[in-house]
Structure 1
């Protein structure tokens, strides 16, 4: 008891008052619960009923010793820190610490942070164009966004940013680092990066710009084979995806023979957009479900009837920069055997963050649930494993001397089709296939679709109007 008294004497009056308030509040909870239990017992006795009383678990009550410790630290900082600190500043720092220590994605959103979060989900914001997280105290690049300054400057998924200009990142919060990366369009920021396979840090200069993200891009790879790139899941990505598919089929004049969906370096985004995209390709069944401690975090999303591609073969490309919503789409199509997933293992962000407004200008972003694929697989920290692993590689065609063929022999018998142009479509295919020629993973996806088409030509033949 002496130890407790001496501790209280050491506290200033404000700390004693705070501790007393906490203790009183906790006592009121106990008193109310006990009064309710007493009333329930007396009523049961009067009615001749058997009554079971359960009092609250003491372990779930407010930890008074820890709260006293908090008030003492608060007081020590107020009285002895080298510079005067306002109560508001200390309390906001305490809130930030409570959230940031839970996981890398939970955070306190001050007015500017809250505004920037809304901007990033709308598809237009200022900065470098990278999705980032924290790892071992450094900023880790989850994925550079297509056609942004960071991507054009050579920033890659998996890079660890150790310095922003001359300021070391170690010790910064993620929010502080993001604030430094944002800035006036046209200004230069030097990123010092550690990259796997490199023995020394790399310096990359990036010119800030207004980031306008085009969520969905599409084109024909070769005659009959479409390509859709989803860079990020925004509010209208689902409708843009459907429009892209319709545009490809209109350009072709018939159904596609195969489709590549490129989710590489897609950092995720809006959950509902991923659900809408999966729904467009699935005829029925579960797409994704979430599990958390509170009822509102337990959600299930299922596909409505109707596959707009009507079974057309699909290959989905993923890599270590594919995270969150892109993993939901890949996992749903994989579990339903609607697509072949190709590439390398995805990032593994399988948690749900809920933005909870505190007032008009402040909010908290807190992890409230985990994602699960239709088959019950947790994405968190495990990611999506591709059906066919294909690592990035550089392609180099080997020059070789032309073979000596029958047609070169003097006096050879003429073939029935000799003299006709056998490669009349080569130029067109080279023009449309140049993207796949530069990208080994994409070429592998295209070759797989061609193999499926050869082994199962019925659908495409029917699309072209042939009788089977």
Structure 2
């Protein structure tokens, strides 16, 4: 994988929704001087006057530090949903999330019309086990209405000591509010999981993009081939409910499936925000047919991977439209262990598509559903079940009805979208046989 520009500290800190900075960034000369104009003196006088009026006339005394920090928060909160002023605790939590271990419920959240919205629950966390789904609106936290809260306020309220309980009031698809009680835990996110779905067909799930996700995917691909005698006939890459993460990791994952061409590029106002990432000639996937699963919980870094593989016609995308977060956030450390999380660029797929507020459309739409199987003891009677039946004319073994048992314990057994992805891979291989 190559880049048009060297990866500076600022470039390395580019992160996406649900992720955190890969490295701390310091302000570059270009960033410090870009688009600087004359100071708006009239507005600054108004700001100083408002500050003075609050200090002298507000019903209770309030110190300068509180007023100024509130002003900074307000200034950032009105830019876009992903820019924020990070105080020490929030800054530390953001950094911890890239390590794959942090405290909380395991919910990635965003905002919609002033409401806190679940982007996706993280696998194997209290939120996922409680049945919380992407798209749920969190209307109350421990009885307190969340309307108008910032994301940081909601995250801070949901975090807490492992073992402590919390009640979320959820609204699902415009229905009636309902309560879910959860117990906080130390969240240890396993970024990559893999297994064989069927003989010669692999399954690779990425829950979020952490610092080492690219390396873990490379190891998982090698293990899948080894476990199947050195080759694969197909692979399902599951990016459903993946809220994103580190930009660099998304590039590394896409590079495992591409041998050439552009993966993603970003455009912003400052020089270091304009980056281009291209694939290396090595292809860790060895050209295996790929189906990528996406849904409304697939965001930012997940959309980068899906968009790149779709544009290069390297994979078939299946599922439902993705979340649509096509902006890049840079974390700029300040003094006193504080930082700005600032939206600095938009990213674009190799064909120049902006995913912002639109999302990725799958090639084949498959809605979420659950597979059910007939568990009856006896199925339809077949010829081979009849007493005294004739044997096969070519000497083949009998196939009575009870011989059609489906092996249990595979992910596709009760996951309709995954089962359809596997069926598509098998169909592709049938048509390619000589």
Match of 1:204 in 2: 180
- Whole-angstrom distance in 2 between the partners of 1:417 and 1:217: 43
Question: What value does the CA root-mean-square deviation take over the aligned residues?
Answer: 2.2
Other structure's SS at 1:341 match: strand
- Whole-angstrom distance in 2 between the partners of 1:333 and 1:297: 23
Match of 1:162 in 2: 139
2:192 maps to which of 203, 211, 216: 216
Match of 1:402 in 2: 380
Other structure's SS at 1:92 match: helix
- Whole-angstrom distance in 2 between the partners of 1:341 and 1:230: 15
2:303 maps to which of 312, 327, 331: 327
- Whole-angstrom distance in 2 between the partners of 1:223 and 1:71: 70
Match of 2:231 in 1: 255
- Unmatched runs of 5 consecutive residues or more in structure 2: 1-34
1:205-255 per-position Cα deviation (integer Å, ceiling 9, x unaligned): 110000000000011100010001100000000000011111111111121
**Structure showing the higher helix proportion among its residues:** 1
| Alignment length (residue pairs) | 398
Other structure's SS at 1:125 match: strand
Q: Which has the higher contact order (CA 8 A, sep 6+)?
A: 2
- Whole-angstrom distance in 2 between the partners of 1:453 and 1:190: 49
Match of 1:15 in 2: none
Q: Does 1:187 align with 2:164?
A: yes
- Residues 452, 153 of structure 1: alpha-carbon distance in 2 compared, 3 angstrom cutoff: same
Match of 1:83 in 2: 60
1:307 maps to which of 279, 283, 289: 283
Q: Does 1:416 align with 2:409?
A: no
TM-score by length of 2: 0.87
Other structure's SS at 2:160 match: coil
- Unmatched runs of 5 consecutive residues or more in structure 1: 1-56, 459-468
- Whole-angstrom distance in 2 between the partners of 1:242 and 1:225: 17
Q: Which has the larger radius of gyration?
A: 1
- Whole-angstrom distance in 1 between the partners of 2:275 and 2:254: 16
- Whole-angstrom distance in 2 between the partners of 1:372 and 1:411: 64
1:245-267 per-position Cα deviation (integer Å, ceiling 9, x unaligned): 11111111121110000000000
- Residues 413, 250 of structure 1: alpha-carbon distance in 2 compared, 3 angstrom cutoff: closer
- Whole-angstrom distance in 1 between the partners of 2:165 and 2:199: 43
- Whole-angstrom distance in 1 between the partners of 2:259 and 2:125: 36
1:416-456 per-position Cα deviation (integer Å, ceiling 9, x unaligned): 234367999977x6135x31120000000000000001011
- Whole-angstrom distance in 2 between the partners of 1:363 and 1:96: 11
- Whole-angstrom distance in 1 between the partners of 2:40 and 2:201: 62
Match of 2:344 in 1: 368
| Greater than 6 Å deviation, 4+ residue runs | 421-427
Match of 1:61 in 2: 38
1:390 maps to which of 340, 343, 366: 366
- Whole-angstrom distance in 2 between the partners of 1:257 and 1:425: 26
- Residues 255, 128 of structure 1: alpha-carbon distance in 2 compared, 3 angstrom cutoff: same
Q: Does 1:277 align with 2:265?
A: no
Residue correspondence of structure 1 range 224-263 to structure 2 within 5 A? 224-263=200-239
Aligned-pair CA distance for 1:273:
0.5
